[in-house]
Structure 1
Amino acid sequence: MTASLPPRQTCPPGLCTCGLERLLETPGADTRILLLTRPEEKRLIERLENLQSLADLEKVQQRMFEQLGIRLSIAPGFNEVRSMRGIAIQIDELPGLCRKTRQAIPAAIRRGLEKRPEIAYRLLDAHDLFRDS
């Protein structure tokens, strides 16, 4: 017995490049991203804005992959990191992930890092950015 997925509001045609139609038409496709409904997306964004530690951020990254299939990588950018904008946040291409959500997740992470800069420092330290200081 298969559980049906909750209905998810589709993007207007031509405005989004999420590829939701292709995802639904492909048999055997990974449909975990369809579990990210609008209320769940708001909860995820709120959770990312209220990070407590680097371990908490890594736990959320892992849960996003396990539950939704979203691969998220966070690392210092190629140039100097003078602000939270210098931290590179990449989301791998995923059919069904809305363009707005793809932009909202990194923005929420940056807001969370701005609230708690010590998380950003731990992230930079984990990538050996402070090795010469």
Structure 2
Amino acid sequence: MADFKIRKECPPQLCDCERERLLGGEQAELAILRLNLTEEKRLLAHIETIATYEQLKKLEKNLQKNLGVVLRIAPGSGEVRTVRGFQIQLLEQPGLCRKTRAAIPAAVRRCLARHPEIAFAILDEHDLLGRIGRSD
């Protein structure tokens, strides 16, 4: 069994995390279960303290490396006027609780609302601001 505290079981009717299926699987798959409630609260607090685009990119890489979780942040298909115009999501995977898939993007949105320069960097990364200065 695991030598770390794992996330408690969710009520079966309320969550689709497939925690029990993971417990019977390989050790590599168990990494996501390390995100217990205490660790999730620490992660959410950390996300809300992010102040630069580089820190946000580092968070994305660390989530992937340590937990196997893919965080995607991109401008929405329409016009982006506020942080609600960004598509922020955690890709579904076994062991990732439904509440966590909602809480982490919400924390990222709060971070972007506090630091609009990060939102502008995301827009620039997707070349939405780069086209303004060019004449094609």
TM-score relative to the length of structure 2: 0.90
**Matched positions, count:** 132
| Runs of 4+ displaced beyond 6 Å | none
Confirm or deny: 8 A CA contact 1:75 1:88 kept in the other structure.
Answer: yes
| Residue 47 of structure 1: how far off its partner (Å) | 1.0
Query: d(CA) in 1 for partners of 2:76 and 2:32?
Result: 27
One-letter code aligned to 1:132: R
| Residue 8 of structure 1: how far off its partner (Å) | 2.4
Query: d(CA) in 1 for partners of 2:58 and 2:22?
Result: 27
CA RMSD of superposed structures (Å): 1.5
TM-score relative to the length of structure 1: 0.92
Asked if residue 103 in structure 1 is aligned to residue 102 in structure 2, the reply is yes
More RCO (CA 8 Å, sep 6+): 1
1:72-115 deviations in whole A, cap 9, x for unaligned? Answer: 11111111101101111121121011100100000000000001
Change (3 A) 1:28 1:131: same
Please name the residue that 1:83 is paired with. 82
SS at match of 2:12: coil
Please name the residue that 1:42 is paired with. 41
Query: d(CA) in 1 for partners of 2:6 and 2:75?
Result: 37
SS at match of 1:75: strand
Query: d(CA) in 1 for partners of 2:27 and 2:54?
Result: 33
